[in-house]
Amino acid sequence: MKRLGLVGGISWTSTLDYYRRLNEGINRRLGGLEFASCLVDSINFGELQRQTWPNSFELLRDACRRLVAGGAEGIALGATTAHLFADALAAELEVPLVDLRVETAKAVRARGVAKVALLGTKFTMEMSFFRDALARHGVEAVVPDAQSVRDYIQETVRDELGAGIVRAETKAAYLEIVDGLVERGARGVILGCTELPMLLGASDFAMPVFDTVEIHVEAMVRFALDG
C-alpha cells in the first residue's frame, strides 16, 4: 500500500470527511483491520483566509513538501479551491498529485453527462481552473450568473459549512439555485466544494450528482492500492 499525504484544514470539517472516507474505502477493498497509510498536514484555515486563496500557493506548497518529507508517496489536496494551484504544485512535487478536477471530469463523462451545474466557492465558480479541466474532457459547466448568488454560496460555505453548521434554510436556497441552472440546461450537478456534501446529496436531486469528495477519495484509494 502506498502512503498518501493529505493537505487538510481547508477546512477541518471536510478533512474529517476525507479521512473517514479514505479509511472506509481502503477497508472495503482489503477487509479485516486494514486501513489507510496516511499523513495529514492540517493548515490553519484562518491564516489561509487572511492571505486569501489566490495568495496561498506557498502555504499549500510548504504543506505538500512537509508531507513528502514525511514519506508520502502521493499527494491529495483536501479542497476543491486548492486545485487553483494543482498544476503548479504537481510540477514541483517529486510524487504524483491525485487531481480532484481530472477525476471528477472522468466521472461526469462516464455517466454520459455533457452539461453540469457547478457549485463551489466563488473562486471555483468564477475562475477557470475547474471549468477548463472539465472542458478538456468535453463537459460544459454552468454557474450562477448573479454575483449576489455566488457571494451567498461563498459566505455560507465559509461561515456555516466550514464551521460545521448545517441549516435547512440554506439547503432550500441551494436547491432553488440548482433549479435555475437546470433551466439553463444542466443535466447533472457537481458538488464542487468539499464541504457541500454536508448539505446536499444524491437524494436531493432527480439527476446525477457528483460528490467531488467521494470521487476524489475513490481515486486516492485506487492510487494507494493499485498504483
Does this chain's domain 4-99+214-226 share its CATH topology with 101-212? Answer: yes
DSSP code of residue 3: P
> What ranges do the domains of the chain cover?
4-99+214-226, 101-212
Give the containing element (helix H, strand E) for 76. Answer: strand 74-77
Identify the CATH assignment for 4-99+214-226 out of 3.30.1300.10, 3.40.190.80, 3.40.50.1860, 3.40.50.920. Answer: 3.40.50.1860
Q: What is the pLDDT of residue 164?
A: 85
Cβ neighbour number for residue 93 with a 10 Å cutoff: 18
Q: What is the pLDDT of residue 161?
A: 86
Assign 181 to helix, strand or coil.
helix
Cell 499549500 maps to which residue? 60
Under 8 Å between Cβ of 93 and 67: no
Query: pTM of whole model > 0.85?
Result: yes
The tens-digit pLDDT sequence of the chain (227 residues) is 999 999 999 888 889 989 999 999 999 999 999 999 999 999 998 999 899 888 999 999 999 999 999 999 999 999 988 999 999 999 999 999 999 999 999 999 999 999 999 999 888 899 999 999 999 999 999 999 999 999 999 999 888 988 889 999 999 999 999 999 999 999 999 998 888 988 999 999 999 999 998 999 999 999 999 97
**Beta strand 74-77 pairing with 38-42:** unpaired
Under 8 Å between Cβ of 56 and 121: no
Identify the CATH assignment for 101-212 out of 3.40.50.1860, 3.40.50.2300, 3.30.70.3340, 3.50.50.60. Answer: 3.40.50.1860
Q: What is the pLDDT of residue 195?
A: 83
